[in-house]
Structure 1
Amino acid sequence: MMTNLFSTFDPSANFGLPLNWMSMLISFMFIPSMYWLIPNRMNFFIQSILITLHKEFKILTKNNNTLIFISLFMFILINNLMGLMPYIFTASSHLVFTLSLALPLWLSFMLYGWISNTYHMFAHLMPQGTPPILMPFMVCIETISNIIRPGTLAIRLSANMIAGHLLMTLLGNTGPMVDLLIFIVIMIQFMLIILESAVAMIQSYVFAILSTLYSSEVK
């Protein structure tokens, strides 16, 4: 029995090893369509999604180097959707997972920008048309906004995944206590799962698109 509502997100240890974190590696088991002898409809569907993302990310990055962002989108999407399955650990609800994705990306963008294009990075701290009296404040605001970017990326993803899982946990615990309203509870759970599936897709897209925008600012 749960002693805490947030204990559903605790990784249980088996044989002295946190095996729940191994669920993140399941995404690597999805073989790309190029290795299939006869691609099925699912392969064509995934391929169309990847082509659409490539066209959109190519406009933002102004080049064809979109593989890392498409891979990031698919990796987060698969982990978010797997977290909705029963008895599967939700890795994307932990800051250890989200921050380990956001922090290296942001740090690499910043290092590349400040080393290779220092003048542009300094100019980015001062928006065009800023009144002279507001220039010191704008530099501080832009600096703080750049520093907190990995934190906002990580917290946005984990908070959205936690919120939906907590709602489903609360409804699941109140189901046995309202036998007369069990049908209504099941319908609410079904609609909530559909909503969480949409949230999983949207949050993976938001994470990837914001990473793409951050990379385009350092060029």
Structure 2
Amino acid sequence: MIDEKCNTIHRERGAYMRVIAGSARRLQLKTLDGIDTRPTTDRIKETLFNMIAPYIYDCVFLDLFSGSGGIGIEALSRGAKEAVFVENNPKAMACIKENLKFTRLEKKAVTWNRDVMTALHQMEGKKVFDYIFMDPPYNQKLEQGVLEYLSGSSLVYEDTVIIAEASRETDFSYLDDLGFHLLKEKVYKTNKHVFMEKAGKEEIC
């Protein structure tokens, strides 16, 4: 049975979380109450996907620290071939599964209810992703640990685009040392999206 915290649609900054475009357009998604699963707002999510929309169709998408799954579900709705959701919180994972069922996208989804680093190790040699998105808790340097792992991982192509959502003050000056190229940085009021890859494109939009 889904936890009662997931039985009502949660409002984030005055707006329902919803799918912006694609096959599940306008469907409202459920999230957990509280700050542990801070959802990306609709406005920021729309800005993000406006930048990467031309390349989403038929891609393989990895959503790390998935929360309620809104980013990966948006990718699937817009035509991604597959999305893998990694989320350690079992209550949040229950919401992801309910949202996938509600949007009728569960057949294209794989869910991993475990720690992100454990999941990355277990997927090694089995998956390669076109896009990797991560939205870890802010200011804990979790994104740096993931990038250190991905720098030597077979989970990424040379042109896999990695996107990190982080607080505005988060430092990414170490990217060159890990062999990543900064593609773009989109700064919002309190946070930002940082786009990177091992080599290749000068820009993505």
Tell me the TM-score range normalised by the shorter chain: under 0.3
Higher percent of residues as strand: 2
**TM-score, normalising length: structure 2:** 0.26
Higher percent of residues as helix: 1
Q: Quick one: higher RCO (CA 8 Å, sep 6+), 1 or 2?
A: 1
**TM-score, normalising length: structure 1:** 0.24
